[in-house]
Structure 1
């Protein structure tokens, strides 16, 4: 369990604050919605973002709880109802056919899913290996990175994910590296973030590896990864990029990151079943990542991951999730999520007593943004605020810790979130800010 989750458990449990969920029919037994119509001809992402009829049709593709207003859609992404139905069908088939299917047909089906992921990611098939999520992918990349010598320096930041920070620190035991940390400036801007990394590179002449988080899970800042990656490459420094929250909600492909090593999540913003991710290693760099625990050295990226028996149906449903993602269009998703994020963020900036942790710069903006009551920076403070929002307003937003400035409450809409939910959040913030 990571330190953040331990801290939240010490603060208490949200379970008592949550109303009981109402029963719901499974996707397999419920009538599926009509197939999503194509994006209207001539629509741009920005014009489509406010098209209520289109996004209501998108929302009809999903089941979502009515127990609370769900504004924690960054944990994982709900499967659309057609994807869930496909998953249930594949699960039943695998359960029925058992080892006969797993041994005789699954290898080819798995490779087809891998090829579909490679196309969506914009990379060659031999540059990715499917994993059970971004955490597994990044653990493989960070722990397996073998170009460090004793005394070399590894860098991470306060915005990086807890488990990834843990693995970088483990490199001190594994490789004899010195692990150093920096904190992102607040408020953050495009230039001062780049400058923070430039200064770190200048301060640490033995710096060989940097962990970069494309979109962080704490305040949603979009890191200017490509610029930092190029700056690092000029100094002979490698970067490993965590794009768990980037790919699928931002209009980009993996080559845009200008990085040779990337961990990817496919069950957050793509909406595949939980347990699907990928690791990217640029062609020609596989030898710089150790094979998995005794696997033979070679240039086959698949030797870097060994997951054992997997959730067959989850991988079989990945192409269906990618198809719906492509039908909506990633640029359209990004524009819609930006509209939803800005709807509450811009209003919250005007509420006395509320501190918003989000940049007005669209280059640094994602679906994720955070806030806190001014001066209330402890985990306990923000856990209590989360509980209050649930109990008094029926709104669920999750506390996050780890920023140098303290804890906060994270808000994450999904493409099926109605604008009215963000308006209700703003109304609630006006009340809680009064005490």
Structure 2
């Protein structure tokens, strides 16, 4: 059944979802031609050019069995990256320890320089990790300026693994853990007021975890302003930028942060198992060595990460992913991802029993957006909604918990997502709103 048929006959899609068999092994299809981005076209105009984005989508191998709107978990590699990754896997397998001992480290150092340049940082300020989680855990666990009786703080929308790491500090460092709530509905001023009030009400806080774009609702916080208000109170901030880098157009100076963790396998399209941490120059001594590492001197940021023997093929594929990112351009990616979000949200925002959990202020969102059916706030209810969307409408989404007013369903388009895909979602959500009325 084609997507056109699905849009035309939404009520007839009662066949349970069943994925097709994996592709049989065989010869690779021809490599796509180099991507050409039209010169002189404003990003917002290019974001609406479906012909151009069809050419982008052809550079991703995506299952035709369903519409994937759960791209926040893992960002699919574009074809140039996938092919380079396979070459790197084969090369690693062929050259084995010789590659790891003789050529990998200098090559990884070159890659570190490339990543730093795109971020707007110095090479000496970043260290590669196996993902955003490892980067942020190393920063949180290694933060050295806490004393018994101090407090640390995080918000309800912060990533659960990072909340766990902050909770862990209570036993390890003898600190009190404070939890604040990001208001709903969120606005820029409401978020600033909430953080100002939380820091004022908890004067013993010395470390704040702050998500640039959270993984639950996609809300983008005014990080630079919050970092400044925290710094004025003697509070250090660790920024979780796992979902924002490669998704939004910014550099590290736009955040104003001294410490941050990034993912490379979400919006940069690197293979699974790549990320990095950032420590601003002059702040390295405030993060402890990882397990008293002696591989690098204490003056080298790489001593703050010890991952053991890792799969280096994702790391070696980073330059190709950055090439793809820079060919499109961060501003163009941001415009397209916001366009896709706006396209479906504007078709459903007037449904009486549906709440959209990101505001209409462009600086406050990207493409990740969550919705909630009024009154349906339990895990079971929202899992039922995601199951219904997949089984009846072939649209893949995911339930998210954590927001103060209850669970929600997260929707995450990607660069290969078409306008028809999000139109199908909007049509399906009218059906969901009728079926799941509280």
Report matched runs for 1:293-304 at 5 Å: 293-296=291-294, 298-304=298-304
Contact 2:129 2:276 survives alignment (8 Å)? yes
CA distance in 2, matches of 1:94, 1:26: 21
Report matched runs for 1:68-83 at 5 Å: 68-83=66-81
The answer to whether structure 1 residue 195 and structure 2 residue 193 are counterparts is yes
CA distance in 1, matches of 2:418, 2:384: 26
Offset, 1:18: 4.5
Secondary structure at 1:105 match in 2? helix
**Structure 2 match to 1:376:** 376
Report matched runs for 1:342-353 at 5 Å: 342-353=342-353
Q: Which runs of 5+ in 1 are unaligned?
A: 1-15
**Structure 1 match to 2:42:** 44
Instruction: Give per-residue Cα distances to partners, 1:144-178, cap 9 Å, x unaligned.
Output: 10101111111100010000000001111111111
Offset, 1:23: 3.0
Q: Which runs of 5+ in 2 are unaligned?
A: 1-14
**Structure 1 match to 2:11:** none
Match of 2:248 among 247, 250, 267: 250
Change in CA separation of 1:223 and 1:17 when aligned onto 2, cut-off 3 Å: farther
**TM-score under structure 2 normalisation?**
0.94
**Structure 1 match to 2:367:** 367
Secondary structure at 2:291 match in 1? coil
CA distance in 1, matches of 2:131, 2:105: 19
Report matched runs for 1:167-246 at 5 Å: 167-246=165-244
Change in CA separation of 1:232 and 1:58 when aligned onto 2, cut-off 3 Å: same
Change in CA separation of 1:25 and 1:325 when aligned onto 2, cut-off 3 Å: farther
**TM-score under structure 1 normalisation?**
0.94
CA distance in 2, matches of 1:27, 1:168: 47
CA distance in 2, matches of 1:17, 1:93: 42
Contact 1:27 1:85 survives alignment (8 Å)? no
Q: Which moved more, 1:24-33 or 1:50-59?
A: 24-33
**Structure 2 match to 1:135:** 133
**Structure 1 match to 2:32:** 33
Secondary structure at 2:375 match in 1? coil
Change in CA separation of 1:242 and 1:25 when aligned onto 2, cut-off 3 Å: farther
Q: Which moved more, 1:242-251 or 1:345-354?
A: 345-354
CA distance in 2, matches of 1:199, 1:262: 23
Offset, 1:352: 2.6
CA distance in 2, matches of 1:193, 1:356: 17
CA distance in 1, matches of 2:241, 2:257: 11
Contact 2:16 2:392 survives alignment (8 Å)? no
